[in-house]
Structure 1
Amino acid sequence: MIAASPHYIYLHGFASSPRSTKAQDLRDRFQALGIELIIPDLNQPDFTDLTLTRQLQQVSALLPADSTPVTLIGSSFGGLTAAWAAEGQPQIQRLVLLAPAFQFLDHWLPRLGAAQVERWQAEQYLSVYHYGEERSLPLNYEFIRDAARYPTAQLRRPIPTLVLHGRADDVIPIQASQQFAAQRSWVEMIELESDHALINVSEQIWITIQRFCQLKP
């Protein structure tokens, strides 16, 4: 019996899209090896009602009906989504997390400030700049309520996990990934000389992914 080819799925970050620089770069690199990189649009059906739970449902719907192994590659909030998807989906056998948004609310809410968060809760919607759409869009406060149900400390499934994080990341501090990796022996962490976008280290990221996923050129 011939084993099914593994599936590779890329999850873009918060307020991003499948058209992001990292998504397109990795799609082209996988394509050069004759491998399809599936890149769902996690903004669908709309950004306003986005939640982590909804993203997890989208990932679940993408998984093959058989036992084909899946590798998830996630960027920022997509990395957090990938980690949580792997907790409950045995088909997911490997994770590559790029500047994953561990402890997301602990970092994001203080940046907004208490007054703005309180106003958001009262009014139910906050205007957020969406980089994929290049415009501001409303986001429901349910996004916050839902995200609070997913504490990073509860991510405990021991599968091969690669974390790449920039030392100069001012969105999700590298300490979040350092702490995550230090508490989980199955996690390999690589620190990069970059910021949250990781654009300047795309070649280094690809070489590391090739090695970790055993992709042959």
Structure 2
Amino acid sequence: MSSMSSILYLHGFASSPASWKVRELSNALKARGQGYRLICPALSTVPNEAIAQAEAIIESRVGPLTLIGSSLGGYYATWLAEKHLLRAALINPAVAAPASLEKYLGPQTNLHTGAPFEFTEAHLAQLRALEAPKITPGRYFLMVETGDEVLDYRKAVQRYEGCKQAVFEGGDHSFTRFPEMVPQLLEFCGL
């Protein structure tokens, strides 16, 4: 890939650019003099607005762009990768986000900022409309841990069958092996 390669990181539900994985990735890129290649917006809690934020970035980029999506961000990344013909690395992705997030209807709090927000039926409907009906296996690099206490990793392994996959025993939803996977992740992103 060209020297203009960039990464658009899409964080998970109630998360933010302050998540430990974003900080880890940012530090790895800064150590290589490439910190400027990482874009991680604070995504709106409203799915359609989050997608609009991501698409504005995608449409403004010059050069190759790879998506990285964690949890709900993985669900968004899949839809965006198919629509915009991009590659995406998925970390413990929410495969069926509407079903996974139904139990979170009502008042919520951002894990990093403490900002309150309301998760509504309208948001679930927006998520349903963002489900990619099919995927192109060559676009994806799936990373999951079997100990994910939030999402069933087997659903992701099945959904992304035929894709490059790294499945690790143990761990949790935060994807504990992220630091050791950063070199492979950057290689996948063309950096």
The 3-state SS of whatever aligns with 1:128 is: strand
The TM-score normalised by the length of structure 2 is 0.87
The 3-state SS of whatever aligns with 1:84 is: helix
Instruction: Map residues 119-158 of structure 1 onto 2, 5 A cutoff.
Output: 126-134=106-114, 136-152=116-132, 154-158=133-137
Match of 1:205 among 170, 181, 190: 181
Q: After superposition, what is the alpha-carbon deviation per residue over 1:112-164, rounded to whole angstroms, capped at 9, x for unaligned?
A: 2xxxx8xx6xxxxx112321223543223211111122335x13235431110
Instruction: Map residues 99-178 of structure 1 onto 2, 5 A cutoff.
Output: 99-109=92-102, 112=103, 126-134=106-114, 136-152=116-132, 154-178=133-157
Structure 1 unpaired stretches of 5+: 121-125
| Aligned positions, number | 187
Structure 2 unpaired stretches of 5+: none
Kindly name which structure, 1 or 2, has the bigger radius of gyration based on alpha carbons: 1
Instruction: Map residues 1-217 of structure 1 onto 2, 5 A cutoff.
Output: 5-35=4-34, 36=36, 37-43=38-44, 47=45, 50-51=46-47, 53-63=48-58, 65=60, 68-90=63-85, 92=86, 94-109=87-102, 112=103, 126-134=106-114, 136-152=116-132, 154-182=133-161, 185=162, 187-192=163-168, 193-198=170-175, 200-215=176-191
The answer (yes or no) to whether the contact 1:56–1:84 under 8 Å persists in 2 is no
The 3-state SS of whatever aligns with 1:144 is: helix
Distance 1:80 1:173 in 2: 14
Alpha-carbon RMSD across the aligned residues, in angstroms, is 2.2
Aligned residues with identical type, % of pairs: 25
Q: After superposition, what is the alpha-carbon deviation per residue over 1:70-116, rounded to whole angstroms, capped at 9, x for unaligned?
A: 111111101111111111113x2x2111111111223333xx2xxxx
The TM-score normalised by the length of structure 1 is 0.77
Partner residue of 1:123? none
Distance 1:31 1:127 in 2: 36
